[in-house]
Structure 1
């Protein structure tokens, strides 16, 4: 049985509770050996981190033709972990949609990873407002085919998320149930402000916190050499400047800066789980300490980090 240090939450009302820790795929599974990947998957299930984000990075700014999804699928099969023990979250891209339709994307993604279905998925980045009636209908068809159970959005403008919810109600089909947003100690305005805050407060959506370490900067104090997420608002220097304070507070709580960042996210009642990348077993082990910290000292963590948010002047409506 998975560790039950922290109470699981559901992505949506009536849904099955999901692990509080989630492992991402971008620049992770391709940075470790297959043996290490197998060990990481097995240990993730034990530590209640058996929620895996699986994406094929092949479009728009992610036109990398990465093999990270293939490597994950191979490691998952070698791990011997039972499918019922994990939650799999796929991703659909809007960069070339509808030229490349959702069904073609999800079938390709499943085939590459050797999977039969996703439990949920995220509809990802876009530039222009999508054709919402078609988008909602297309995702609904995938649910109807049994390829997934639910869906969420990734850093959408709030008005488009509300449009999707309204359109789903009009069509009488499933709308988005969670929002995967950039959220953490440094970036708070989008999730906690008047954009998404009300939808979280009334239970319309839950939050999946992502990019919580700002590409690793808030976990180590250093910017990695690999490609990391966009610097929305041009505030990365300000974010890097708060690392010494984060390191100090983490020391006071006896955890790593990364675990502190995860505990901060979990202490927000809207958060269903926290998505992060781990390419070493010791990173996962250290991050697991966030669960006990959030459970026992969540309010204290938030109070200690009250002045560390640096995105107050960045648009908070989801305009990424």
Structure 2
């Protein structure tokens, strides 16, 4: 396993990590979670990602129970949670957003569900136009100083708001955001590569990216039809299926269709090539993988070896093909 610093911090995360989004608590029960977490940890994965909204809190309960059963040393892995959407399907005003109350309540609830004393990473899951940036920063600073959170950051925030939070923190001698969690893959790259470009160095920002396979679109398995047992085949993921397959009028699906042939040139699977492509970006601290079976996790973790053996000419060839598709 390769380990990368979380931006300018001293924390080193595995280049590939494992997340619970749309799998834990739905496709993945406690037994399957335990087996995959054990396998990932044995392969050197040291970061497991979660959020209050995943399966309405059940994803954190499943992960927490599985980690408790495994009894892995707490200092050998990092855990995250994210707050904004709330845990309940129809949350009350105080049960969502980034107010001091919800951020504090959500942190305490995540600690209970995950069965830990502190969160290594805690994210503001989306911007909140109803809460002043000052309130958000002050709340996160308090949680860090209380020892309940070690590093805090954002997810899918525009660069201008991340800068505002960092500037307020600096001006008032508070602990500012250390990381951002954006979607990043061959089909979604502008924010990571362009919008955030000025703040990697100025803020020392690290990024922990999600959806390297564009919810499975870049694996090639949706080229003909949507398998019933796949992520997009789940009945409660109809919203995700529509967002992925119909993105930009189907243009993303057409571009993804070119990836299997490209992967064959490099003797790897489309999934491995897509994940390796994300790893090529030096600003990426870790790529969060999703899986519902150990076989998927095993295949995806092998992307690290693919990334390490491809030279500059190979990457340029890949970029040329992406541009032409």
TM range (shorter): 0.7 to 0.9
Residue 183 of structure 2 aligns with which residue? 182
Residue 87 of structure 1 aligns with which residue? 78
Structure 1 residue 33: deviation in Å? 3.7
Residue 198 of structure 2 aligns with which residue? 198
Structure 1 residue 74: deviation in Å? 0.8
In the TM superposition, 1:1-320 aligns within 5 A as: 4=1, 6=2, 8-30=3-25, 31-57=27-53, 65-93=56-84, 95-98=96-99, 100-126=101-127, 128=129, 130-193=131-194, 195-202=195-202, 204-222=204-222, 224-226=232-234, 227=237, 228=240, 231=243, 234-235=247-248, 237-297=250-310, 299-300=312-313, 302-307=315-320
Aligned length: 299
User: Equivalents in 2 of 1:99, 1:230: separation in Å?
Assistant: 34
In the alignment, is the contact (CA less than 8 A) between 1:110 and 1:116 conserved in 2? Answer: yes
- TM-score (norm. length: structure 1): 0.86
Residue 229 of structure 2 aligns with which residue? none
In the alignment, is the contact (CA less than 8 A) between 1:209 and 1:274 conserved in 2? Answer: yes
Q: Which has the higher helix share?
A: 2
User: Equivalents in 2 of 1:77, 1:217: separation in Å?
Assistant: 33
In the alignment, is the contact (CA less than 8 A) between 2:19 and 2:49 conserved in 1? Answer: yes
Structure 1 residue 158: deviation in Å? 1.5
Structure 1 residue 231: deviation in Å? 4.2
Query: Relative to 1, partners in 2 of residues 1:301 and 1:166: Cα closer, same or farther, differing over 3 Å?
Result: farther
Query: Relative to 1, partners in 2 of residues 1:301 and 1:231: Cα closer, same or farther, differing over 3 Å?
Result: farther
RMSD: 2.4
Structure 1 residue 99: deviation in Å? 7.3
Query: Relative to 1, partners in 2 of residues 1:127 and 1:247: Cα closer, same or farther, differing over 3 Å?
Result: farther
Q: Where does the alignment leave 5 or more consecutive residues of structure 2 unmatched?
A: 86-95, 227-231
User: Equivalents in 2 of 1:229, 1:139: separation in Å?
Assistant: 34
Q: Which secondary structure does the structure 1 equivalent of 2:257 belong to? A: helix
- TM-score (norm. length: structure 2): 0.84
Query: Relative to 1, partners in 2 of residues 1:145 and 1:229: Cα closer, same or farther, differing over 3 Å?
Result: farther
In the alignment, is the contact (CA less than 8 A) between 2:14 and 2:286 conserved in 1? Answer: yes
Q: Where does the alignment leave 5 or more consecutive residues of structure 1 unmatched?
A: 311-320
